[in-house]
Structure 1
Amino acid sequence: MKLTILGGGGFRVPLVYGALLTDRGEGRVTEVVLHDLDDSRLYAVARVLAEQAATVPDAPTVTATTDLDEALRGADFIFSAIRVGGLEGRANDERVALAEGVLGQETVGAGGIAYGLRTVPVAVDIARRVARLAPDAWVINFTNPAGLVTEAMSRHLGDRVIGICDSPVGLGRRIAKVLGANPREAFIDYVGLNHLGWVRGLRVAGRDELPRLLADPDLLGSFEEGKLFGTDWLQSLGAIPNEYLHYYYFNRETVRAYSEVERTRGAFLRDQQAQFYDEMKRPDASALTVWDRTRAEREATYMSENRETAGAGERDADDLSGGYEKVALALMRAIARDERTTLILNVRNQGALSVLDTDAVIEVPCLVDANGAHPVAVDPLPDHATGLVCAVKGVEREVLAAAESGSRTTAVKAFALHPLVDSVNVARRLVEGYSEVHPGLAYLK
């Protein structure tokens, strides 16, 4: 079984390879191909992977290439984790937005739109190449904005592209833990878009345990989302929102906090990872040790501005382990071996959420088997959530239209219609500002 990782020089690739090393079953991945545009990054990551595999018999072989077509040919699974514009691009996304007093986060608001506008054309090119060179491959998309990029690729690959995210998985795990339930035995009633969803129930043996959590302020305030959003607000919603909804529900406070930090999240990661890749140039450095140390710091500072705004304190140790690599492995196993399972994924709607059309990519529980991921029909959202989901999906559609047409006017429309951008004039200035710093937006005319 061959797995190709696009963005193979990325910092988090060792998480995926580490998950593969735990899989000893029939039909496991035996060959990994790393693709990246940067030779030095490929070299650095390959060193980490070699140390990971050193004590594991029959570890998947690893090769690296900068030739995209070569990487795609013969692949059974293709994992896409590219970052168009690199971390410098992310830092610029944040800086340009904050200068206009709006959010620049990489997947939410103005920053997410900017990231999407320069990523979608690249993702579409990859999808077309996959359709030509590896038509039987399954594409697992982790490239952000994950829902938007998955929808762009699905127009060329149909249901053979599936988006993954670790946020819903982590949320469900935390809720199950505080309720004393086994996450593997619980069904998480989760629905929305990527980074815009809500847990509305957690069923164990047919019984919904979420009302018990919502009725107990002490229990509700004992985990990450309770600390982040506050127990009163969660009880008002009657649901547990994905952590990224903090950017919507507490937008003014979050923008102020991001404006006051010495370095934005993107700038921090840019500098941190530059140091990591520099250290990897030293032949005497222990690649895995340096990577582990860097990752621990990265995870501990995740959403730190939001937690500071909410007075949520430090993240719990259990929340520092990520999880998207486990979702990816479970998804590959379910498809390759027909090991039927239920996972929360980004897939085409197919009527599961009645308020959106069939082709809209949503994030919901899916039944996964050898034929792919099949969304489970979900109950309608309450009006406040429906309005937000429809508004953001409308923005995503404008981003896709702008990327396809190259229309600068449509790009302005995408920014202006987003709930977190409060002025058409701000939208125009955002397009101007982003065009100045991102060569990848030169196609907008």
Structure 2
Amino acid sequence: MACKIAIIGGGSAYAPGLINAFIQHAADFDGAELALMDIASPELEIVQQLGQRLAAAAGANLTITATTDQQVAIAGADYVLTTFRQGGFQARRLDERIPLHFGVIGQETIGPGGFFFAMRTLPVIKRIVADMARLAPGAVLVNYTNPTQIVAEAVTHFSRVPCIAICDQSQDDARKLRHALAMPEATIELESIGLNHATWSTRFTINGEDGVAVMMRHSDAVLARGDVSARVKRQFRLTREYGRLPNSYLQYYYYREETVAEALAEPQTRAEEILEALPGYYAHFREQIAAAVPHLTHGRGGSIFGDMAVEVLRGLVRGEGAIHTLNVPNRTALPDFAPDRVVEVTARLERTGATPLVQERLPATVVGLLHMLAEYQWLAAESIWHDDPPAMTRALAANPLVLSLPLAQQLLDASRRAQV
């Protein structure tokens, strides 16, 4: 289908993997324009040139354009994919470092770090949806920008732009489970519900067998291995405790002291590690531009990132009712949550949106924390969208990792001072 897909953040190190995934499904996007937009013009030019070389080598009928003008990219688009990082990794470094000074985990999507990230992200999202309403009426926003749930809460409440928010964490968790279980070729079927980065499995099999039973059979061996991360080991411990597979991010709530101590002991934050690695990614991209036959061997996010985004866009373009796990307004799908609250749930894609599928209730042992997170994320979206500082303090105080008005104010003050 000949369509225009604007990609906001098209110069990132993620973008080549995304373009590569479009190329793998070129038949479904025949004649499409991928309109890359980024404020980082040198990186944008590299990604465009690499994308053009990759598409030409594969014989894919895709036009790859590039611009630093957001309105040019959005004008006439059928779909807008947001995958930008406002403030870059230097800002993420502060999101990770500042909370640790107060004994709270520093992370890019949850806790205070996620709130700081949302404070930078939502003003940009507000401009994007305004441009979409004016220049691409009827276009669907597919959001991959974190914190994705707060973004989706804001857009679905304060804009008429159709919005689907996506996250590949469950796929990444499944990949790491295969490694932990020493079953690299295992077929894992996983359906989880809840909130972004806070889901519990409702259907989980490994090679057709109950996945929890498989994990428990291997649990002692996994916990004893030195090549399995503490994060994955905590997933095994939580699975044993609750009888369901948790999203790996739930470790930050259920093992709060452990994860803070671990982060404080690390010589670098994740953002600092990425900042060191980024030049190597772009060096590889430049090498492949000059290669006789370009071949993408590494980039940020691996193949999962591009694959999921393109699968969702493919489902929208084809309109054949494909089922994916998405972040969308609940309606009546999850009986534990309000109809207008954004939830992560299996949903059926149509050409202009997605319909969440009705699920059973989660047990009381896990749903209480999710209720707190759902209301916090709504309060965060509302207060940041309306630029209301007192409301921002109250919203951050409602975060389960904060739960203190004085602490929330101290965190916000520290973040604002660091951004000056």
**Shorter-normalised TM range:** 0.7 to 0.9
Separation of aligned partners in 2, 1:155 and 1:21: 34
Where does residue 424 of structure 1 map in the other structure?
Answer: 405
Does 14-23 or 331-340 show the bigger shift?
A: 331-340
Is the contact made by 1:5 and 1:32 (CA closer than 8 Å) also made in structure 2? yes
Q: How many residues align?
A: 411
Where does residue 38 of structure 2 map in the other structure?
Answer: 36
Instruction: Report % sequence identity.
Output: 28
| Cα shift readout 1:322-363 (whole Å, capped 9, x = no counterpart) | 413222222222221223321111111111112222221111
- Give the superposition deviation at 1:287: 12
Give the 3 Å change call, closer, same or farther, for CA 283–340 of structure 1 in structure 2.
Answer: closer
Where does residue 65 of structure 2 map in the other structure?
Answer: 63
Where does residue 333 of structure 2 map in the other structure?
Answer: 352
- Give the superposition deviation at 1:54: 4.0
Separation of aligned partners in 2, 1:104 and 1:291: 32
Where does residue 13 of structure 2 map in the other structure?
Answer: 11
Is the contact made by 2:9 and 2:38 (CA closer than 8 Å) also made in structure 1? yes
- Indicate the SS of the match to 1:420: coil
Where does residue 306 of structure 1 map in the other structure?
Answer: none
The answer to whether residue 277 in structure 2 is matched with residue 272 in structure 1 is yes
Separation of aligned partners in 1, 2:194 and 2:164: 15
Separation of aligned partners in 1, 2:322 and 2:230: 26
Separation of aligned partners in 2, 1:287 and 1:108: 44
- Structure 2: 5+ residue stretches without partners: none
- Structure 1: 5+ residue stretches without partners: 300-320, 440-445
Where does residue 216 of structure 1 map in the other structure?
Answer: 217
TM-score, normalised with respect to structure 2: 0.87
| Cα shift readout 1:25-67 (whole Å, capped 9, x = no counterpart) | 2554621111111211211222332342341113412111111
Does 225-234 or 140-149 show the bigger shift?
A: 225-234
Where does residue 233 of structure 2 map in the other structure?
Answer: 228
Where does residue 247 of structure 2 map in the other structure?
Answer: 242
- Indicate the SS of the match to 2:122: helix
| Cα shift readout 1:167-204 (whole Å, capped 9, x = no counterpart) | 12344567799698745xx5x33111111111132379
| 2:306 aligns with one of 309, 314, 325 | 325
Aligned positions of 1:11-410 closer than 5 A: 11-28=13-30, 30-158=32-160, 160-171=162-173, 182=187, 186=189, 188-202=190-204, 209-210=210-211, 212-213=213-214, 216-218=217-219, 221=222, 227-229=232-234, 231-274=236-279, 276-277=281-282, 292-293=297-298, 295=299, 321-410=302-391
Is the contact made by 2:18 and 2:306 (CA closer than 8 Å) also made in structure 1? yes
| Cα shift readout 1:349-380 (whole Å, capped 9, x = no counterpart) | 11111222222111111122335311111111
Where does residue 414 of structure 2 map in the other structure?
Answer: 433
- Give the superposition deviation at 1:16: 1.0
The alignment's C-alpha RMSD in Å is 3.2
Is the contact made by 1:117 and 1:402 (CA closer than 8 Å) also made in structure 2? no
Separation of aligned partners in 2, 1:331 and 1:256: 38
TM-score, normalised with respect to structure 1: 0.82
Is the contact made by 1:179 and 1:213 (CA closer than 8 Å) also made in structure 2? no
